[in-house]
Structure 1
Amino acid sequence: MNILVIQETDWLTRGPHIQHHIFERLSKNANFKIFVLDYDIDKIERSKSVFIKRKVYKNIRKTTRDSKVEVIRTSHLRIPFLRRISSIITNFFEILKIFRKNRPNIIVGYSISNGFIGLLISKLFNVPYVFHYIDFLHTLVPIKYVQNIARVITRIIFKFADVVIVHTDFQSKYIIDEGANPKKIRFLPIGASLENIYVDQEELNKIRENLSIKRNEFILFFMGYLYEFAGLIEIIDYYNHKVKNDHYKFKFLIVGDGGIYGDLRKYIKKIGAEWVILTGRIPFLKIAEYIQLADLCILSFKKNIITNQVTPQKIFDYMAMKKPVLSNNLSGVYQQIGVNNGVIFAKNQKALIKKIGELVNQKEKLKEIGEIGFNYVKKNHSYQKILNNFCNIMRDVLRNKKV
């Protein structure tokens, strides 16, 4: 089976998200061939001219060591305001080219603009289109007036996609309000990668030494893209003097980059917050040793229209490593995980920040919560189970399309 995956972010550097976990695992099966059409959203590609050439990346491995995913990045102009437009045009012709050479059995979309193109071509060739809705996409558009256009296009995709996959009831209610047919909606929760929890003790000891972390130190842990709304600066500001004056004894390990990374580095140096450790980006296949250092993992996002309705992959990565999670009371997370399942919910971001201080001296209790979380995700969120559910959705889509 050939599956074409379409997204508007960088498959190579962003995430891993649920689509990486699903399609890398599928690609290991000889019966599946996975093509991904992505976009250089972070402007990493370089060229001496204004023209960025088409590139193909084979056997991309972000979550599994023997993945055979093929990522195609179309040519585009390296000119402000024309980058995205030129990419959309070349995406259109690239999809037609894929149909000529390796006609997809299914298209799975994660985006608006090139996702809409994929939808149009799927109707032209009578191929099922599945819209996997993992973010409130139109709200991510940086230009306000364009958000309204993006929302209209998203509604069209909701209406004409063969199936729309969501994670929570919250998302389901939202897309129904936006015009989706309730009969087309399928639920697929976020998974936990239980295959990637092995810890190399020798590597762990090296990391401890390199980061100057002692075995008995309490480690607060955050990983992922460093959004401004992640609450990291607020945590540092609240505890900086308290930690320096030995009122609290812990270190804050932040693994990730992007967003405010550069400003955060400068700010930490400016205020002398030596208890905060920034590592930069670490590949997912090497992340287990870093999570193992943690005593408490946090999801400290401010509540807004985006964060309140999604469930980040990182929570399940924490829980798979038997780590307790302290999270803001975000609706998407609360609905998908619930209470007493390994996640401690705070009323809001301010309450979460204060709660950190309460938990610093409760290592044993936190270990028990971590065990509860692990048992919960092992039973309900293993990627083997998620993958089986996804394949069942694909089979149903193909069966209904033939009928």
Structure 2
Amino acid sequence: MAPAPMPRARAPRVEHHVQFWSASVLLVAAMGLVVMPRPALAQARPPVPVTISAPVAADVPIYQSGIGTVQAFNTVKIQSQVDGQLQKIAFVEGQKVKAGDLLAVVDPSLFQAALDQAIGKTQQDQASLANAETMLNRDQQLGARDFASQQTVDTQYSTVQQLKAQILQDNAAVSRARSQLAYTQITSPIDGRTGFRLVDVGNIVHPSDVSGIVVVTQTQPISVISTLAEEALPAVRAAQKAGPVPVIALDKAGQKLADGTLALVDNEISAQSGTIQLKSTFANADEALWPGQYVQIQVLTDTIRTALTVPSTALQRGPDGMFVYVIDAGEVAASRPVRAGQISGGTAVIEAGLAAGERVVTSGQYRLAPGLKVETTSAAAGGGGASTPPAE
């Protein structure tokens, strides 16, 4: 008979006990983390570095913004008023000119001759009139003594009246000839700046020429034609009733170019675009505005007195609307819903939800959550407190 198999010895279960107790410890630790209060969790993290600022009460201007194009205050195409050869150009292209400055000269010789002829004809007729008046006086004396007939006296009287009428015509001819001669001296009718010369010396110019000699544009003052949304019209009309309405012109980058005033609101709203056109006037002393330039326009329609303001970077948008992070005395962050008004120029008006003296986070919010402890760095309070455009 074969010997009976020996029974196998059991291996110790130490490894299984170690694995079991390790899993139990991890489970208990995880449960501890789950039930650990959030403040305790916050205390376990290092403070979040943030920048803070305090709300500031300030007067905040309310602007209606639009886009516009700079337009010369006056534009004049300089043309000759008489036919003739262009004898002289008296300006330099791009030159600033005053009203009355000489710009060009048309050959005046023919017009001077016409004036001299008209003056000579006037003097001739004046001499004839003097002679006729002498003869009339003589005939009247002879007629009084019956040495001349009444018909002779009447005929001479008629001659005198005809010569007087002729002298009136002569004077008109002299005035016309003098005007024609003056037209050969072409002057600027306005203060402005010349453009490109459109004709050269030696050419024959005519009043009917389409191009003219040069175009003069007035840039001081200067105008801006702009558009606003039709919803802004009530605010603009109300501002007009209160007095002159300030207007600011900005370049494409938002840098201030000039200050002006509102001159005109168009008499109708465009049905196609739903906008209203405005015309503003700027002194433009430094000529920062140039005809044809694209600008942004801000029309000051109101000012909110002692409004509570914060830097616009403090505002965060959540599922329930706008909110800010407020830091309490213990340097712990809390989320606070707010109602924001105008946001402009890096500043936001807070209509509800904050009080003066509280501290709000202006940067570093991406790592922040309610209940977390923070390490604060102060910034300029309220961002200046005024929603003004960028300074020059």
| Fold match (TM-score > 0.5) | no
**What TM-score range do you get, normalising by the shorter chain?**
under 0.3
Higher helix share: 1
Normalising to structure 2: TM-score of the pair?
0.20
Question: Which fold has the larger relative contact order, with Cα–Cα distance below 8 Å and residues 6 or more apart in sequence?
Answer: 2
Q: Looking at CA atoms only, which structure, 1 or 2, has the larger radius of gyration? A: 2
